[in-house]
Amino acid sequence: MPLYEYWCSQCKRKVMLYSPTFSQTSPSCPKCGNETLRRLFSTFSVRSKTYKDVYEDILSDAQLTRGMLADDPKALAEWNKRMSQGEEVAPEYEETIERMEKGEMPAEIAGTGTSGPSEETDLV
C-alpha cells in the first residue's frame, strides 16, 4: 500500500498520506495547509521469505487472486498482510488494514483519516 510519511515544520507533526502513485511535488499538510512538507524515509525490515516466494503463494491462491482483480478491499487487506510477513507496522497501517477487512477501499479511508489520531501522526 503506497503510504508516504512527511514532516510538517509548521504544525510540528508527522503525517502519513495515501497516494496511489509517487509524485515529485509535495502535498499540503492536512492539518494546517502548509505546502512545504518534507518527505521522510520510512522504516523497512529484512524479510525471511523473498518477494518471489510471497507472490507465488498469493498467485497460487485462486480466491485471493480473484478478489485482487475485482478490487475487493478484503483481498487487498489479505495481500498486505501476506506482504508484511508479520513485521511490526505503524498503528495507522494496522487501522487501515482493519478497515479494509471490513470492506472499505483505501481511497475511502484516505479521505476520512483515522478514528483516533495520535498527537504526532495522522493518516490522511
Q: What is the DSSP letter of 78?
A: H
The stretch 86-112 carries a mean pLDDT of: 79
Chain centroid to CA 99? 12
User: CA 44 to CA 23: how far, in whole Å?
Assistant: 21
Predicted TM-score of the model (pTM): 0.47
Domain boundaries, the chain: 3-123
- Closest-CA residue to 1 (of 36, 37, 42): 42
The three cell numbers locating residue 71: 478490487
What sign has the CA pseudo-torsion 27, 33, 38, 41?
negative
What pLDDT digit, counting tens, does each position of 19-69 carry? 766 666 778 888 898 888 888 876 655 556 777 887 788 889 999 889 988
